[in-house]
Amino acid sequence: MMKSLLEKLTTFIVVLVLPLMVIYFTVYFGLRRGEPKEIEFTSKATLAPKVDHAEFEILQQNFVNPKDVTAACLSCHNKRDDELMQSTHWRWEREAYIPGRGNVKIGKINLINNFCTGAPGNNGSCMRCHIGYGWEDKSFDFEDPTNIDCLVCHDKTDTYFKQKGKAGWPATAETADAEFAVPDYNYVSQHVGLPDRDNCGVCHFFGGGGNNVKHGDLEKALFHGDKKLDVHMGEDGSNMSCIDCHETKNHNIKGRAYSVSAENTNRIACENCHTDSPHNDKVIDAHAFKVACQTCHIPVYAKKAATSLWWDWSVAGRKDEHGNGFKEYDSDHNYDYLSIKGHFVFDNMVKPEYYWFNGTVDHYLIDDTISEVPVKINTLFGNYSDTAAKIWPVKVHRGRQPYDPVNKSLLSVKLWGPEKGDGAFWNDLEWDTAIQMGMAYWERPYSGQYDFIETEAFWPLNHMVSEKDQVLSCVDCHDRQDSRIASLNDFYLPGRDFNKGVDYSGFALIFLSLFGIVGHSVLRIVAPYKFK
């Protein structure tokens, strides 16, 4: 009786309960597979200041010169100037180790780019985005703390701006115009706090001379974007500010720009918040060993405004029938010819190019000799066999820019000047004088001959992260016809690559398995009869 009951119970469990449990748990975990883990955070930029600056007597004085505001800030926030004056935002250079070169000083102050070629010598225009007042020439005092512009980063009123062409100064009573008024220093200084995206974006969204020209993934639409534009910064989503990722301690802002930094230090990574296994799916998580998060999660960049992909200085300088410079536009109203800058190709919703990248970068330095064409403004290190390297999405900015065919070096050009006739290219459209002035400022040799040469610069993408239903799927890469990473052919990628030996070995294994199953079944059927 007992035995019979036990047999029935065993049969019940094996036949009904166990299969149901298998089905239940398969469905349970299957439904949850691929669901990313939720991250909780509080946006720092929206936190209320711990003090009311309007109550401080020192901020109630009648400021006329912004340097007096800085002095007032430092009277309470002492030693902050020491921190800030060590930063790259202040120095525009840092010491870095580059393999094959050793320790070198690099930064905007001494690197050539393929946008406006370089900042030094064009101080009136470029140094508007320096966090100081009046870097007009080499006499600028980097040790004077009152030269620090605290307000450009800490203004919470959105009324404080540096004036165009004034080397970082705001408008004065003499220079104010319809676009730039004299700031109300009392109002601004009494309403300060942690930087929000307006403070960062006013410079970083307009790099290269206009909205989204340089980066491709940083533009003014991010001031008030939605989740489709950037899943982190979308106002209808996480609504994060820049400093939520670019964490800052003692004015040291984490998250170096990959394109202008050399070492893989002081950077930020998606894993800092999302961990290294965020997908709840082991197969996808395993991809992170060789694939950067950005590769799948930034399928396109320049989602709103177009970005510059080609900039050809060789055709700059043309004049119309009246002897004046002119502009032409493409059908999307992006300029595609400016006499002062040359010919452009702009585009939006751009698919990135993909490269191996281990976080370290080489640069064309001002004393380098050109050894290859196109000249690489920067070089991303990494390849498949490099254990630190991953596949990254990259914006590549290509173009032609002036070089010295005798000295075989890229040239620095004096582009900006305050008035016509001063020799600056944007005023007079004359190359030779502008190059002489540019090279003289940089104290570099110029043979007197110039021509134009093709260059390319590589900008790893980090922003404009897409929502999860817009990210790349398997077949975007694992596809024989149209793989996104078709150009990375130093490794075997299943689905994209094929090898007859591997393919036929696979088929053979499948057939052998089938043969084994069928053979085993036949034997099981035949055996009882044979041994009866």
Partner 1 sequence: MKKILVFLLLAFVITACNKKSEVQTVDAMVESALTHVKLIEPEGLFNLMNSEEIYTLVDVRQELEFYYGFIPGSVNIPRGSLEFKIGSQEFWDGIGLYMPEKDEKIVVYCKKGQRGILAAETLGKMGYTNVYALDGGWKNWELAYPDLYEKDLDKLGGHSSAPASSGGC
What's the Cα-to-Cα distance from 36 to each of 40, 276, 286, rounded to whole Å? 13, 12, 14
**Backbone phi and psi for residue 19, each to the nearest 5 degrees, phi listed first:** -60, -40
Closest C-alpha among 352, 362, 406 to residue 382: 362
User: Which amino acid is present at 204?
Assistant: H
Longest Cα separation, the chain: 113
Question: Among 345, 472, 475, 486, which residue sits at the site for partner 1 (rule: CB under 8 A)?
Answer: 345
The smaller minimum CB distance to partner 1, of residues 326 and 504, is found at 326
**Toward partner 1, which CB reaches closer, 256 or 343?**
343
Please give the structure tokens belonging to residue 54. Answer: 């309007």
Min dist CB 116 to partner 1, Å, is 8
If the CB atoms of residues 119 and 222 are measured against partner 1, the closer one turns out to be: 119
Minimum CB distance to partner 1 smaller for 115 or for 446:
115
User: Is residue 428 part of the contact set for partner 1 (CB under 8 A)?
Assistant: no
Residues 192-211 that bind partner 1 (CB under 8 A): 208-210
Query: What is the closest distance, in whole angstroms, from the C-beta atom of residue 388 to partner 1 in the complex?
Result: 31
Quick one: 326 or 498, whose CB is closer to partner 1? 326
Choose between 213 and 439: whose C-beta lies nearer to partner 1.
213
Q: Kindly state whether residue 37 participates in binding partner 1, applying the rule CB under 8 A.
A: no
Q: How far is the CB of 342 from partner 1 (least distance, A)?
A: 11
Shortest distance (Å) from residue 428 CB to partner 1: 16
Complex with partner 1: residue 208 or 216, whichever CB lies closer: 208
Q: Which position among 110, 114, 125, 427 is part of the footprint of partner 1 (CB under 8 A)?
A: 125
Exposure letters 257-290 (e unless 16+ CB within 10 A, then b): bbbbbbbeeeeeebeeeeeeebbeeeebeebbee
Part of the chain binding partner 1 (CB under 8 A), chosen from 100-108, 261-269, 341-349, 495-503? 341-349
CB burial string 122-145: b at 16+ within 10 A, e below:
bbbbbbbbbbbbbbeeeebeeeeb
Confirm or reject binding of residue 105 to partner 1 (CB under 8 A): no
Query: How near is the Cβ of 400 to partner 1 at its closest, in Å?
Result: 9
- Identify which of 144, 151, 131, 133 has the alpha carbon closest to the alpha carbon of residue 59: 151
3-class DSSP state for residue 127?
A: helix
Nearest distance, CB of residue 326 and partner 1, angstroms: 6
Q: What is the DSSP string of 180-199?
A: -PPP-HHHHHTSB-S--HHH
Q: Taking a C-beta distance cutoff of 8 angstroms, is the pair 394, 355 a contact?
A: yes
Q: Taking the complex as a whole, how short is the minimal distance between the CB of residue 345 and partner 1, in angstroms?
A: 5
Rounded distance between C-alpha atoms, residue 115 and residue 415, angstroms? 12
Q: List the x/- string, 465-494, binding to partner 1 by CB under 8 A.
A: ------------------------------
Complex with partner 1: residue 62 or 331, whichever CB lies closer: 331
Under the binding rule (CB under 8 A), the answer on residue 324 touching partner 1 is: no
The Cα 260–Cα 107 span in angstroms is 7
> Measured from the CB atom, is 3 or 333 closer to partner 1?
333
Report which of 150, 123, 138, 131 is spatially closest to residue 63, judged by C-alpha positions.
150
Asked if 256 interacts with partner 1 (CB under 8 A), we say: no
Q: Nearest distance from residue 457's CB to partner 1, in Å?
A: 15
Distance between CA atoms of 311 and 255, rounded to whole angstroms? Answer: 27
The contacts of residue 410 (CB under 8 Å, 6+ apart) are: 112, 117, 364, 366, 370, 375, 401, 402, 403, 404, 453, 455
326, 492, 498, 511: which one binds partner 1 (CB under 8 A): 326
Task: Evaluate whether 73 touches 67 at the Cβ level (below 8 Å).
Answer: no
Stretches 2-10, 291-299, 331-339, 494-502: which one binds partner 1 (CB under 8 A)?
Answer: 331-339
**Residue type, position 313, single letter:** W
Task: Identify which of residues 294 and 308 has a Cβ nearer to partner 1 in the complex.
Answer: 308
For residue 344, the minimal CB distance to partner 1 (Å) is 9
343 binds partner 1 (CB under 8 A): yes
Contact map string, positions 126 to 165, toward partner 1, x by CB under 8 A: --------------------------------------x-
E strands within 424-471? 451-460
Of 229, 253, 338, 377, the residue at the interface with partner 1 (CB under 8 A) is 338
Site string for partner 1, 366-405 (x = CB under 8 A): --------------------------------x-------
335 belongs to the binding site for partner 1 (CB under 8 A) = yes
Task: Check residue 117 for interaction with partner 1 (CB under 8 A).
Answer: no
- Footprint on residues 283-322 left by partner 1 (CB under 8 A): 309-310, 312, 320
Tokens representing 530? Answer: 């044979």
Among 7, 137, 247, 328, binds partner 1 (CB under 8 A): 328
Distance CA 150, CA 77 (A): 11
Which position among 73, 96, 116, 119 is part of the footprint of partner 1 (CB under 8 A)?
A: 116
Cα angle 370, 112, 264 (rounded to 5 degrees) comes to: 95
Phi, psi of 335 (to 5 degrees): -65, 135
Interacting positions 220-249 with partner 1 (CB under 8 A) = none
- Look at residues 411, 421, 418 and name the one whose alpha carbon lies nearest to residue 123: 418
Q: What are the structure tokens assigned to 432, written together?
A: 């030779």
Residues that bind partner 1 (CB under 8 A): 116, 125, 164, 208-210, 213, 309-310, 312, 320, 326-331, 333-336, 338, 341, 343, 345, 347, 349, 398, 416
